[in-house]
């Protein structure tokens, strides 16, 4: 592949290496230049352009990504379509992702142009979870290297597959010591039932008995005889040794203790055993909670029929410190092309915390425009759209702003740091967006001419899987507000400081921007001065 700057006269048919704005439109990176494009670029006074040309020994980025992704598809996995040199792979079943780490590494070592990233081996996935992504770094990949990677992907068992959860009947044993409260056992049962249900399993039977090896051994045999294919034992006292009550009971019942302990915290005191072909787990105390712990890692693999050996457990230490993990988020909560939602789930964040310094003593957000406070117009537009929830960020004169919006079905997020600038309000607003939302449309409280219909057009244009992860309102090709951001950008916004919004994100991710043209210049109008307010209020 050839890459570099060439005169415009030599650029027709080449691939544009960097985005160029001409005549009010954006020629994006990766665009194949036409004669009309070059004429438009020349009109700006530019004489050359940076391009790439694919040679006979190269495969175009999209074709290369698609070929490798096709070779990677194993059971329980489906593909998206190639775009910008990327193909995403998704789970077609709920289960556990099985990855051949050694072959994945060999693919990434084959050539710097070809990359493959996946979730961690044995990660729990649901239908539609993105499990891996193939990305070709330049505009083309060497055919020889691509062929070698395809050979690696197909040389034996699937490199990537989803082992689906297999419904099974589970039995639960809860032991008692003197003073054990039944409500504690009831809570443990409820947590176990919820955990099993999420995996498609049924709590078929339950036995409560004394924390005694003999009584427990009888209970284990009883559940096995009733047909339980998984036996879970919550002891009234933690397991501290292989000769303790629970492992001794497993042995007395005719079972085999395979391993005690695991390098995962919480979850250290887990017992792995079998009674014939039925797994028996002695559970750590943390399993009484639904928070992620080492028990989940073992249970998920067993339910997916992925064997767990003592060695497997002993190698769980890297990444096994879970104390600070409040949940299990997806690296990209994008919708799967296999099961797309009717429309993305978008929240509206209305920024209404500013001090209106240029307005003097007047808080512009409370100034009357067409018979109601200015901020009420912005909130009404958000409520008229499909965005939900509508979050209003308050700060300066917060109680007055809330009063102006009394009775409106909105959520308020207070920003005590509003004096530090717009960025603090934006961060507060995005922090209040529910985890179920795919993104947020950010509205300014001092833009009363933005309509709910325009917000819905931004939402309709938003499609991260098609490379449209930022939607921006424009008027006559000039960008304004509102701006819709995919959730993936929220961490970047949290690193912003001062009196700035998310404008820099648009420049840094130009290839992910879609512009939505508005006939109304109101998308460019924010009211900062008494003169502007007087003109708007008329």
Render pLDDT for 401-430 as a digit per residue (tens, 0 to 9): 999 999 999 999 999 999 888 889 999 999
* pLDDT tens, position by position, 69-79: 999 999 999 99
Summarize pLDDT for 154-167 with one digit per residue, the tens.
Answer: 998 999 999 999 99
- For the chain, the first-to-last Cα distance in angstroms comes to 60
Q: Which CATH number fits domain 346-537: 3.40.50.1980, 3.90.550.10, 3.40.640.10, 2.40.440.10?
A: 3.90.550.10
List the beta strands (DSSP E) in 372-415: 372-373, 390-394, 411-414
| Cβ-Cβ contacts under 8 Å for 533 (sequence gap 6 or more) | 359, 362, 364, 367, 369, 527
* Angstrom distance (rounded) from CA 287 to CA 24: 59
Residue 119 has, within 13 A of its CA and on its CB side, a CA count of 25
* Domains 58-164 and 346-537 agree in fold: no
Tokens 């068992």 belong to residue: 157
Domain range annotation of the chain? 2-53, 58-164, 169-314, 346-537
- Cross-strand bridge partners of residue 118: 132
Alpha carbons 346 and 459: distance in angstroms, whole number: 7
pLDDT value at position 529?
A: 66
Query: What value does the mean pLDDT take over residues 272-281?
Result: 97
Average pLDDT of the chain, as a whole number: 89
CATH entry, 2-53, from 3.30.365.10, 3.20.20.150, 3.90.105.10, 3.30.870.10: 3.90.105.10
- Return the CATH fold of 58-164: Aldehyde Oxidoreductase; domain 3 (3.90.1170)
* CATH top class, domain 169-314: alpha beta
Whether the pLDDT of residue 348 is over 90: the answer is yes
**Cα-only R_g, the chain:** 29
Beta bridge partners of 458: none
Strand partners, 306: none
């Amino acid at each position: 592949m050839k890459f570099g700057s060439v005169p415009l006269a030599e650029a027709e048919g080449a691939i544009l290496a960097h985005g160029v704005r001409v005549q009010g439109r954006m020629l994006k990176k990766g665009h194949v230049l036409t004669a009309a494009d070059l004429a438009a670029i020349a009109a700006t006074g530019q004489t050359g352009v940076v391009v790439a040309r694919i040679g006979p020994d190269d495969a175009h980025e999209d074709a290369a990504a698609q070929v490798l992704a096709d070779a990677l598809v194993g059971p329980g996995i489906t593909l998206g379509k190639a775009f910008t040199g990327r193909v995403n792979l998704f789970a077609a079943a709920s289960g556990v992702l099985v990855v051949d780490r050694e072959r994945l590494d060999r693919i990434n070592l084959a050539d710097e142009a070809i990359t493959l990233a996946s979730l961690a081996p044995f990660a729990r996935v649901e239908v539609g979870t993105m499990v891996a992504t193939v990305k070709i770094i330049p505009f083309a990949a060497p055919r020889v290297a691509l062929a070698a990677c395809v050979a690696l992907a197909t040389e034996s068992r699937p490199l990537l597959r989803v082992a689906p959860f297999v419904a099974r009947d589970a039995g639960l044993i809860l032991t008692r010591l003197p003073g054990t409260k039944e409500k504690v056992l009831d809570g443990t049962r409820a947590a176990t039932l919820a955990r099993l249900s999420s995996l498609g399993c049924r709590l078929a039977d339950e036995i409560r008995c004394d924390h005694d090896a003999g009584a427990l051994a009888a209970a284990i045999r009883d559940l096995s005889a009733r047909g339980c294919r998984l036996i879970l034992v919550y002891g009234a006292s933690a397991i501290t040794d292989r000769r303790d009550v629970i492992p001794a009971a497993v042995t007395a019942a005719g079972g085999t203790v395979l391993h005690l302990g695991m390098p995962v915290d919480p979850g250290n005191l887990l017992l792995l055993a079998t009674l014939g072909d039925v797994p028996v787990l002695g559970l750590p105390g943390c399993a009484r909670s639904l928070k992620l712990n080492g028990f989940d890692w073992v249970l998920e693999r067993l339910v997916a029929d992925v064997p767990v050996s003592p060695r497997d457990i002993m190698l769980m230490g890297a990444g096994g410190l879970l104390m600070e993990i409040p949940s299990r988020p997806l690296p990209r909560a994008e919708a799967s092309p296999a099961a797309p939602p009717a429309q993305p789930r978008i929240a509206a964040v209305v920024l209404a915390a500013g001090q209106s310094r240029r307005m003097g003593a007047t808080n512009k957000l409370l100034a009357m425009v067409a018979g109601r406070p200015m901020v009420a117009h912005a909130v009404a537009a958000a409520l008229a759209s499909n965005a939900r929830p509508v979050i209003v960020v308050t700060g300066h004169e917060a109680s007055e702003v809330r009063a102006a919006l009394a009775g409106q079905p909105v959520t308020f997020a207070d920003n005590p740091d509003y004096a530090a600038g717009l960025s603090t309000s934006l961060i507060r607003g995005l922090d209040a967006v529910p985890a179920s939302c795919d993104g947020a449309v950010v509205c300014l409280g001092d833009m009363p001419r933005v309509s709910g219909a325009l917000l819905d057009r931004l939402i309709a244009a938003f499609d991260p899987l098609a490379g449209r992860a930022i939607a921006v309102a424009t008027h006559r090709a000039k960008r304004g507000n509102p701006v819709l951001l995919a959730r993936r950008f929220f961490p970047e916004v949290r690193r912003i400081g001062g009196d700035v919004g998310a404008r820099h994100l648009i420049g840094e991710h130009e290839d992910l921007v879609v512009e939505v043209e508005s006939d109304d210049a109101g998308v460019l109008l924010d009211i900062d001065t008494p003169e502007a307010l007087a003109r708007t209020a008329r």
